[in-house]
Structure 1
Amino acid sequence: MIRVWKSARRAPAAAPPYALLSYLMRYPEDGLELAAAEVAALPDGEPREALERFLAASGEDVDSQVRYVATFDMKRSVTPHLTYYEHGDTRRRGVALLRLKRLFREAGLPVADGELPDHLAVILAFAALAPDGYGEAVLAEHRPALELLRGALHRSESPYAHVLDALVAGLPALKSEEHEELVKMAADGPPDEDVGLEPFGPPEAMPTGARR
């Protein structure tokens, strides 16, 4: 697996396949061949079936690195950086990134140099290694963004939609307030910068639901 963190802890044995999902959502420097055995080792269920669909679709005659760039680097509507969906390229996004970095550091898992903490692959790696509840809390906070990304991938018929399907299959169903936020974010799109606002200080609160 690609190492994201400067330090590492083992994920609980019963945890969802966050580490595998993180590997698949990163730029495929080594191709995807290493993932096949790990997918085959998963228990029967929707996550395994979704990842088998991903590997089958990714086996087509397209370079995996070219596909990744074409999927995630060409359109802002299909970005793995989850804070973008809510905050766009505004100062609020900068605050959200600082907040994630602080949370990861306090959990003993500082982000490696050059990584942005809102990249889905980084969040999934955090979920795989963090103390119980931390990763799930971060994913819950960004659940509408996950659904926006998943929908965009399905509309573009990207194989990566199956990776998001595998992730969502292991998450709780959307709450009514999350669905309302999803509808609003989809209708409004990412915000523009609010000119003239005073800079925001980094918030103190961590995601609700994280357990020490």
Structure 2
Amino acid sequence: MPSDAVLYQAAALCLTYPDDDFRARLPLLREAAPQLREFVDHAALTPARDLAAHYVQVFDAENRHSLYLSRWHDGDTLRRGMSLVRFKDLYRAHGLEFTGEELPDFLPAVLEFTSRTGNLDLLAEHRAALDQLRSRLTDFGTPYASVLDAVRATLPAGT
């Protein structure tokens, strides 16, 4: 497991809907993943209702800030279906069965997979999507961009 496993797990939590469980974990996230302090401090200082509304606004249904990695490359084409199968196959090859409510290319799921297995293949393969998402989040002016910055900083150069 890579030394960044805790960061990947913490980033996965930061990129999911900010419910009460997320808010309860903020002190732990702040200590465990100092690379995410900018976002964690923002989340801690923002009222729960406002943070939830911001999440919905940022990760809108129009997919300008999609957390579904294959959508960046495949769009909503038939090719995306094959990409989703590939995600599931990789999870299965590492002894994990994907059973989440989300699709297997959901960035928090990919980060959790990476945290558990140490396998960077999906993150490296979708580096362009991460870069595009980070750029759009930065342009939008949201602290979620700092979470992508922290994840991207862990990826090997040239990916």
Which TM-score applies when normalising by structure 2? 0.87
Paired with 2:23 and 2:65, the residues of 1 have a C-alpha distance of 21
Counting matched residue pairs gives 155
2:88 matches 1:101: yes
- Residue type of the alignment partner of 1:54: F
Equivalent of residue 46 in structure 2, options 50, 60, 63: 60
Instruction: Identify unmatched segments of 5+ residues in structure 2.
Output: none
Cα deviation, residue 37, structure 1: 2.5
With 119-128 and 104-113 compared, the bigger mean Cα shift is at 104-113
After the TM superposition, which residues 166-205 of structure 1 pair with which residues of structure 2 at under 5 Å, given as runs?
166-173=150-157, 175=158
Cα deviation, residue 13, structure 1: 6.9
Show the counterpart of 1:126. 113
Show the counterpart of 1:15. 4
- Does the Cα contact within 8 Å between 2:38 and 2:146 map onto a contact in 1? yes
Paired with 1:53 and 1:123, the residues of 2 have a C-alpha distance of 22
Cα deviation, residue 113, structure 1: 4.2
Cα deviation, residue 115, structure 1: 2.2
Q: Secondary structure of the equivalent of 1:114?
A: coil
- Does the Cα contact within 8 Å between 1:153 and 1:161 map onto a contact in 2? yes
Equivalent of residue 85 in structure 1, options 45, 51, 72: 72
Cα deviation, residue 33, structure 1: 3.9
Paired with 2:26 and 2:155, the residues of 1 have a C-alpha distance of 22
Instruction: Identify unmatched segments of 5+ residues in structure 1.
Output: 1-11, 43-47, 179-212
Identical residues among aligned pairs (%): 35
Paired with 2:71 and 2:147, the residues of 1 have a C-alpha distance of 20
With 30-39 and 148-157 compared, the bigger mean Cα shift is at 30-39
Show the counterpart of 2:57. 70
- Residue type of the alignment partner of 2:9: A
2:135 matches 1:151: yes
Cα deviation, residue 38, structure 1: 2.7
User: Cα distance 1:169–1:13, how it changes in 2: closer, same or farther (>3 A)?
Assistant: closer
RMSD between superposed Cα atoms in Å: 1.9
Show the counterpart of 1:185. none
- Residue type of the alignment partner of 1:75: E
Paired with 2:2 and 2:83, the residues of 1 have a C-alpha distance of 30
Which TM-score applies when normalising by structure 1? 0.67
Greater helix fraction, Structure 1 or Structure 2: 2
Poorly superposed stretches of 4+, deviation over 4 Å: none
